Structure 1
Amino acid sequence: MSNQSQKPSVNIGVQKEYEENSLFRNLCYGLEEEGIPYQFFLSDDKNVHKLANDAANESRLNVGVGIGDQDNIIIQHKKLNIDQPFLEKKVDEDFQAKIMGSNAARLVKGIPIKDIPLEDEYSRNSIPEQKREDIVKEINKANDTAKNTTTTKINKETNNETKEEKPVNQAQNAEINSDDVERITKLVLEALKDS
Structure 2
Amino acid sequence: MSNQSQKPSVNIGVQKEYEKNSLFRNLCYGLEEEGIPFQYFISEDSDIHKLANDAANESRLNVGISIGDQNNIIIQHKKLDIDQPFIEKRIDEDFQAKIMGSNAARLVKGIPIKDIPLEDEYSRNSIPDQKRANTNKTTNTAKNTAKNKTTEKTKAIESNEASNQAKEEKINAEEVEKITQLVIEALKNN
TM-score (normalised: structure 1) = 0.68
CA drift of 1:2 comes to 1.1
Could you give the per-residue CA deviations for residues 13-48 of structure 1, whole angstroms, max 9, x where no partner exists? 000110000000000000000000000000000011
Alignment partner, residue 124 of structure 2:
124
Amino acid in the other structure paired with 1:44: E
* Partner Cα separation in structure 2 for residue 103 and residue 3 of structure 1: 24
Aligned 1:46-195 pairs, distance under 5 A: 46-133=46-133
Alignment partner, residue 25 of structure 1:
25
Amino acid in the other structure paired with 2:44: D
* Partner Cα separation in structure 1 for residue 47 and residue 83 of structure 2: 11
Q: Does structure 1 residue 7 correspond to structure 2 residue 7?
A: yes
Q: Alignment partner of 1:88: what SS?
A: strand
Amino acid in the other structure paired with 1:87: I
CA drift of 1:133 comes to 4.2
Runs of 4+ in 1 over 2 A off after TM superposition: 131-137
CA drift of 1:126 comes to 1.7
Amino acid in the other structure paired with 2:80: L
Could you give the per-residue CA deviations for residues 105-142 of structure 1, whole angstroms, max 9, x where no partner exists? 000000000000000111112224323345899xxxxx
* Partner Cα separation in structure 2 for residue 124 and residue 93 of structure 1: 14
Could you give the per-residue CA deviations for residues 58-110 of structure 1, whole angstroms, max 9, x where no partner exists? 00000000000000000000000000000000001000000000000000000
* Partner Cα separation in structure 1 for residue 69 and residue 61 of structure 2: 25
Identity fraction in percent: 85
Amino acid in the other structure paired with 1:25: R
Bigger Rg, which one: 2
Q: Alignment partner of 1:104: what SS?
A: helix
Q: Number of aligned pairs? A: 140
The gaps in structure 1 that reach 5 residues or longer are: 138-182, 187-195
Amino acid in the other structure paired with 2:40: F
* Partner Cα separation in structure 2 for residue 44 and residue 136 of structure 1: 53
Q: Alignment partner of 1:84: what SS?
A: coil
* Partner Cα separation in structure 2 for residue 128 and residue 45 of structure 1: 43
